[in-house]
Structure 1
Amino acid sequence: MKRLFIGVISFALLLSACMKDSELEQEREKQLIILKDYLASKNITYAGTDTVYRTYIDSTRRDTASIPIKSTYYVKIDYNLRLVGDNKLVETTNHALASSNNILPVTYLKGPALIAVNYTSIYGIYRSLLQLRKNDTANFVIPFEWAFGSYYTSLIPPFSSLIFQVRVVEVIPDIVAYDKSFWQRWVVDSLQLSLSDTTEEVPVYIKTYNIGDSTKKASDYTNVTVIYKGWLTDGRVFTNDYDTITFNLSSSTIIEGFRKGVSQLNLGQRAKIFIPYYHGYGKTAQVNNRGQVVIPPYSSLIYEVLLSQTNY
């Protein structure tokens, strides 16, 4: 599988063919000098462009749960990407910092980014993460060969080396088990339902709060209108407070768990629906039209819904 860029840079247009070979070679030499000068300022010996250089690490917050990161793991990280040349910020999870630098944060919601370690397209980030554990804070220099190489965007010149500033919030060996660790809280503690099964045979868990009009069941109609609000299992709201959507109950553009849950409601009935990740968006992260991650991969979802209209 092709690796994806770690954040919104993936939505920027990456170019290289627009420059002549001679121009690219001149830019490479220029950026190489910048890289070497920066490393020298940190008293680090240059050892090539096919490695990463760790310039700082704070491992004092490690504890018994601070397991090392492996390539098959997922991690939650707070991070910044800066250019070595001028320290310009080009990507961050910090919303306030993004705003002050007139760029978009990586994630739509505030908080760390969830990434699969072996699917970060910036190879230098992958190699940097493998040196860390949970609760570590570190800075790395990623030479251009392990960054974007000759490709460039409006923010990143060709052959730019990067500064990767990272804090490891969580190390997740098993992403499915991690998601399921929140099910007790939501299904049993919040919805007060029995968590009788955690297999794909269970489509959704529903807690209703009123009866509504039992003569008008959603399943008897083709189109429905629903007022809804959505949460991730960590409690973050990913909708604009309460949104409204009208859709066909057989539409494949609506996640299966949402359709299955709504189809069980009466007109005017209000409910909370817990949707296991495999009946939500599955292993694929959902991004908005600006390239920001809204719903991370392997995310079970909680919706508060009101069936407000039914139509044939």
Structure 2
Amino acid sequence: MVEKYVSRFILLPSLMLTVLASIGCAVTSNFTLFLVFRSLQALGTAAIPLIAAATITDLFDGEDRGSAMGTYQTLLSIAPAVAPILGGFIGDRYNYEGVFWSLVGTSILLLIINILFFPKDPKKHKTSKRNGLHFYRVMVKDKMGSILLSLSFLNFLIYFSVLVYLPVLLTSHYHLNLKLVGLLYLPMTISLIAGSLLFKYIQKKISLISVFTFTNFLIAFSVIGFGLTHTVSLSLMSLSLFIYGMGIGILTPSYATILTHQFEQNRASAMGVFNFVRYTGMSIGPILSGTLLEVLRGEIIFTMFGVIFGIISIFGYLLVYNTKNIDKNSPTNKPSF
């Protein structure tokens, strides 16, 4: 849809819907209405990340695109880690209504900024005739595309499993109060920022595929480390989460940048699929991990997650290695995207 219509035409109504739905969440005391408004809020906000990524790919090329994508993904990845801390402070003082009124104010501010500054005539780009459902099938059948989507899904499934599991672990196992629980999200938040900033620098020095390969294995080892240490030592657990956050900060923009190169003529649709797969992982993660915790210990679950991520990373490495052998004449030593 973003490829067919002007992004501004989609973005502004989406922000308006977010404002109205957030007001509804703040004022209603009926649970059914609350769920309806939350669904509308999700509908409004869902378009924003896709439009942002599509606009970045329109406005920037090459290394500049990777740098801009790094900045964008930094903010996008930090939000879930910062939200529990900020929401905890706001909710503690102003109850849940305060959280939604703060979202109303933020959404109105964003709406005004985008009305004034969002480009009215974005750079035109050539799009393939293969749009719609046919393109999504093509993307999944593409070897690199399927590997990236699988890793993205699992990465964010693990990420949100950790986010939801941490408060339970820290209160029940370590008997910490809620303020300290919020502060223990900071190592991962800080490392997310650091990882995204590091990506902006290293993507100019090292090929994207090298970054992709190394960081996949870093993620796998850090998740296994979290699984093995989170009930043993707060320090070792925090170190594992710090490394994991660095990996997410580096990988998320690298996945997005590789996909936009791989599907240059359908980059908005590619980002749409990428975001859909990520959000599906975010939704399934807490449900799956919560269900598994009924029958398995946390150590087994997260170690298993890390091992599965490592196995898929090995397939990704073998795919990259074989592609490099085919494409040795590439000046950047990267597969042709």
The TM-score normalised by the length of structure 1 is 0.23
Is the strand fraction higher in 1 or 2?
1
Q: Where is the helix percentage greater, Structure 1 or Structure 2?
A: 2
Higher relative contact order (CA 8 A, sep 6+): 2
TM-score, scaled to structure 2:
0.22
Structure with higher Rg: it is 1
